[in-house]
């Protein structure tokens, strides 16, 4: 690949993965579904005209969806891959959107303190080697009362033969849904059960891709009786710091 990465904190994608991130399947069945789900997990009214940061924006396929869902007054796309940022710039131009693009590592965000209302982190975190540093940075750049929209695949999905074959990830940092949620809590983010969902989407089940359920041969096991493959969470930075 010709991509140039600004950081060793991010594991470079395979050629197939890079192609997949600009496919219709990625945009319609992954990004669109996640953004719609996250929008429904807010306990409070959505922020009005927010500053929205897409941390790990990739090739910019989220921009139009985020604009429609949250109507930000300022949309920032951030990625460590310079080639992806070039494609994001072209995507923003095609959509007629004014986007600020930043080449930066998630573990050392080139973003001012308490300057962001919503931080969107979709299927990026499981690529990061220094996850705790990145989460600390997310917390730093969010305004008090700001929201982290966290959507991730879990170890149960990443550590399967088909994903290992087609994609590349730092396997030693992969986590379960509960481990990701505990990491958010330890950082200081606040959320309740109503702010969390466990999508059990067909593409996240590499054993049969949900075919048995789609053919009506079985019902999907309920939450608590299955190994979760995905976790979505709307987590809020407290209005007042616990150390204040």
Here the tokens at position 31 are: 């990004």
By residue range, what is the domain housing residue 200? 15-236
Domain membership of residue 205 (yes or no) is yes
Domain membership of residue 99 (yes or no) is yes
CATH number at residue 174: 3.40.50.150
Structure letter (DSSP) for residue 220: P
Domain membership of residue 46 (yes or no) is yes
**Tens of pLDDT, residues 197-236:** 998 755 555 555 555 556 555 566 666 667 778 899 999 9
Q: Average pLDDT of the chain?
A: 83
Asked if the model's pLDDT at residue 129 lies above 50, the reply is: yes
Of 141, 140, 147, 10, residue with least CA distance to 85? 10
pLDDT of residue 244: 40
Here the tokens at position 152 are: 């991730």
User: CB count, 10 Å around CB of 18?
Assistant: 20
Domain membership of residue 221 (yes or no) is yes
Domain membership of residue 67 (yes or no) is yes
CA distance 13 to 127: 9
- For residues 238 and 139, the answer to whether their CB atoms sit within 8 Å is no
Per DSSP, the three-state class of 148 is: strand
pLDDT of residue 193: 97
Q: How confident is the model at residue 183 (pLDDT cuts 50, 70, 90)?
A: very high
Domain membership of residue 244 (yes or no) is no
Looking at the chain, the whole-number percentage of residues with pLDDT higher than 90 is: 55
**Tens of pLDDT, residues 138-153:** 999 999 999 999 999 8
Structure letter (DSSP) for residue 242: T
Of 40, 42, 65, residue with least CA distance to 52? 65
Here the tokens at position 63 are: 């921009």
**Tens of pLDDT, residues 27-77:** 888 899 999 999 999 999 999 999 999 999 989 999 999 999 999 999 999
Domain membership of residue 241 (yes or no) is no
Q: How confident is the model at residue 174 (pLDDT cuts 50, 70, 90)?
A: confident
Q: How confident is the model at residue 2 (pLDDT cuts 50, 70, 90)?
A: very low
Domain membership of residue 50 (yes or no) is yes
CA dihedral sign, ordered 181, 234, 150, 155: positive
* Spatial CB neighbours of 234, under 8 Å, sequence gap ≥ 6: 38, 41, 42, 43, 147, 148, 149, 150, 191, 195
Residue carrying the six token digits 């710091």: 241
- In the chain, the number of structural domains is 1
């Amino acid at each position: 690949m010709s991509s140039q990465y600004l950081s060793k904190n991010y594991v470079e994608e395979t050629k197939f993965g890079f192609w997949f991130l600009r496919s219709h399947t990625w945009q319609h069945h992954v990004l669109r579904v996640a953004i719609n789900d996250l929008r429904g997990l807010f306990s409070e009214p959505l922020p009005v005209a927010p500053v929205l940061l897409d941390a790990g924006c990739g090739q910019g396929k989220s921009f139009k969806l985020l604009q429609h869902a949250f109507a930000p007054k300022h949309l920032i796309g951030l990625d460590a891959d310079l080639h992806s940022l070039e494609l994001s710039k072209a995507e923003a131009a095609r959509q007629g959107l004014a986007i600020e693009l930043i080449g930066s590592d998630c573990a050392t965000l080139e973003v001012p303190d308490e300057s962001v209302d919503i931080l969107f982190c979709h299927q990026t975190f499981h690529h990061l080697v220094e996850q705790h540093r990145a989460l600390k940075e997310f917390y730093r750049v969010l305004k008090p009362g700001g929201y982290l929209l966290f959507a991730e695949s879990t170890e149960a999905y990443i550590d399967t033969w088909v994903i290992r074959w087609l994609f590349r990830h730092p396997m030693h940092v992969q986590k379960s849904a509960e481990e990701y949620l505990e990491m958010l809590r330890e950082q200081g983010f606040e959320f309740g059960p109503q702010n969390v969902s466990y999508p059990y989407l067909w593409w996240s089940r590499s054993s049969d891709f949900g075919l048995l359920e789609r053919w009506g041969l079985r019902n999907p096991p309920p939450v608590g009786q299955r190994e979760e493959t995905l976790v979505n969470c709307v987590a809020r930075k407290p209005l007042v710091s616990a150390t204040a």
